[in-house]
């Protein structure tokens, strides 16, 4: 079923191009071969290796009584793990390989429209510029007011769905664009996406304008308020901060970081990320070859 979804297949192939022959470049779901070869003993060893006290953060949010009663419940349910003497295994560190030009992959399939993913190397989750990237992504392709939505869908009608997203991990990250495109508009759309991406830092008609930065900040402010109305979002944010940043950011602290982002910050990060030599493109569609000009 997963292989039969063109957009999922395009995303998977794009990540393979982006991260190369590393753990991060492997399919999350695995392969037919790896699943068939997997044994119960291997699963047990994996659990024993990584599910240790040193590698677990437990969070609770909501009405739960006193702190003391909750701690007693945690000790009761997680006692064996808390008292376990096993230590955390050393984790592999990811590092980018050398890339000098766009990486492109075509998966030929008889489908009605092309599924396209474009990815750029991004920043890791502990990078303080992640607040800048949040705003840059809103301007770029995350929402109805974004460049990609406005130019590719609204102005030209080349895509029903198009948008960008940010992925940030402990050692690396990415900015990815996904789109469903008519077969006869693939070349024009990919070329336009590339032109917009590279142009965000300045120097042509696609340069980010002051008004767009303020709109992005307003948009983020609204999203943050809605997100922190949900207990699971509050907990998820706190756990991520605890695991990777050693500091839990309050909504007020997050907004302070967002408000401090300048146009110079935005353009500098755009210039670093949106380069052709940082680019990976995967297409699933009814083509024998790809001939767009980027």
CA atoms within 13 A on the CB side of 118: 31
**Residue 58 domain boundaries:** 32-82
Residues 43 and 146 in one domain: no
Residue 178: give its domain's CATH number.
Answer: 3.30.830.10
What φ, ψ does residue 115 adopt, rounded to 5°?
A: -100, 125
pLDDT at residue number 121: 98
pLDDT at residue number 1: 60
Tokens of 265: 């910050």
Residues 61 and 190 in one domain: no
Residue at 17 is within a domain: no
**Average pLDDT, consecutive stretches of 10 residues, N- to C-terminus, the chain (294 residues):** 83 96 87 92 92 86 86 87 78 88 96 96 96 98 94 94 95 97 95 96 88 96 94 93 90 97 97 96 96 91
What is the DSSP annotation of 15-45? HHHHH-SSGGGS-TT--HHHHHH--HHHHHH
Measured between its terminal Cα atoms, the distance across the chain in Å is 33
Residue at 161 is within a domain: yes
Residues 190 and 262 in one domain: yes
* Sequence-distant (≥ 6) Cβ neighbours of residue 285 within 8 angstroms: 6, 106, 107, 108, 109, 111, 113, 114, 115, 116, 183, 186
Residues 138 and 261 in one domain: yes
pLDDT at residue number 238: 93
pLDDT at residue number 7: 93
pLDDT at residue number 2: 62
Residues 164 and 108 in one domain: yes
Tokens of 169: 């991990």
Q: How many domains does the chain have?
A: 2
Residues 68 and 188 in one domain: no
The total of other beta-carbon atoms located within 10 Å of residue 71's CB is 11
Strands (E), the chain: 103-108, 113-121, 162-168, 173-182, 279-285
pLDDT at residue number 39: 96
């Amino acid at each position: 079923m997963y292989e039969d979804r063109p957009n999922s297949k395009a995303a998977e192939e794009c990540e393979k191009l982006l991260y190369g022959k590393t753990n991060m470049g492997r399919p999350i779901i695995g392969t037919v071969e790896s699943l068939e070869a997997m044994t119960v003993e291997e699963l047990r060893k994996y659990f024993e290796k990584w599910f240790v006290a040193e590698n677990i953060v437990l969070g609770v949010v909501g009405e739960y009584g006193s702190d003391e009663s909750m701690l007693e419940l945690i000790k009761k349910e997680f006692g064996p793990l808390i008292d376990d003497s096993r230590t955390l295994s050393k984790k592999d560190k990811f590092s980018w390989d050398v890339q000098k030009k766009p990486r492109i992959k075509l998966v030929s399939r008889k489908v009605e429209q092309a599924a396209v993913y474009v990815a750029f190397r991004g920043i890791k989750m502990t990078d303080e510029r992640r607040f800048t990237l949040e705003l840059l992504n809103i301007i770029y392709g995350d929402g109805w007011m974004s460049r990609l939505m406005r130019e590719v869908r609204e102005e030209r009608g080349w895509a029903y769905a198009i948008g960008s997203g940010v992925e940030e991990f402990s050692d690396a990250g990415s900015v990815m664009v996904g789109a469903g495109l008519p077969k006869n508009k693939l070349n024009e759309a990919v070329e336009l996406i590339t032109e917009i991406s590279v142009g965000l830092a300045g120097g042509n008609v696609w340069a980010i304008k002051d008004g767009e930065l303020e709109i992005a900040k307003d948009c983020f402010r609204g999203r943050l308020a809605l997100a922190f109305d949900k207990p699971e979002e509050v907990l998820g944010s706190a756990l991520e901060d605890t695991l990777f940043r050693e500091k839990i950011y309050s909504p007020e602290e997050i907004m302070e970081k967002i408000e401090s982002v300048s146009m110079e910050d935005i353009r500098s990060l755009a210039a670093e990320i949106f380069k052709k030599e940082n680019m990976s493109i995967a297409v699933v569609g009814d083509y024998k070859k790809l001939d767009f000009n980027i």
